[in-house]
Amino acid sequence: MNPHDEFDIDALHRAVLREQKEPWEGREPVPPWMIAGFVALVGWGGWYLGRWDARFDYDVTEGHWSTTAAAPSAATQGTAEGSGPDLAAVGAQVYASRCAACHQPTGQGMKNVAPPLDGSEWVQGDVDRLVKVVLHGLSGPIEVKGEAWNGAMPPWGPSLSDEEIAGVLTHVRSSWSNAAGPVDPAKVAEIRGSVERSTPWTASEL
């Protein structure tokens, strides 16, 4: 007997054709629903940042909805009516947007970042020294309320007006447990015009 007669070649081929391909990974196309979801997420993220970033100022997340941050609107209105700016209200807004991220809304500071302003001898002390710190910045070791700090504060003179600096200093000097007097914008203008400084101050210089 011919050994080939024991096999049905056609049946064997049919069995082979019924076999499925081995699964493999790594080159499958991305599902359309995943692409659509990604595009929607990126679009929503762009809209959200464009609507709410506000230059990523601190007041967006903390002070923006507070009654303190809303007060400067009245101050601006008062200026337009000729009654002069409300320095405390202007200062509250400046503090919320520029200072509170490091010094905290409570004025207690942040460990290893920024010293406290509440009860600080630097805040309640010499006005000229305080204005210089805000105008030109401060860097290096400093002692506040008996505690040693070593960090850096950026200069705010290039980005804040005399009224804004006077306002924020008036705010911190009269907030929390502080009870020092206001700061006159004319004093800020005088120091800005008479003191030339391109680098931050050190505590020893002041």
pLDDT at 30: 77
The tens place of each residue's pLDDT in the chain, 206 residues long, gives 455 556 677 776 777 677 666 666 666 777 888 888 888 888 888 776 665 554 555 444 443 333 333 333 434 344 433 345 688 889 999 999 989 888 999 999 888 888 999 999 999 999 999 999 999 999 989 999 988 988 888 999 999 999 999 999 999 999 999 999 999 999 999 999 999 888 999 999 98
All structural domains of the chain, each given as residue ranges with its CATH number in brackets, are: 56-194 (1.10.760.10)
Q: Return the ∠ at Cα 26 (arms to 25 and 30), rounded to 5°.
A: 105
87 CB burial (10 A radius; 0-12, 13-18, 19+)? buried
Which pTM was predicted?
0.59
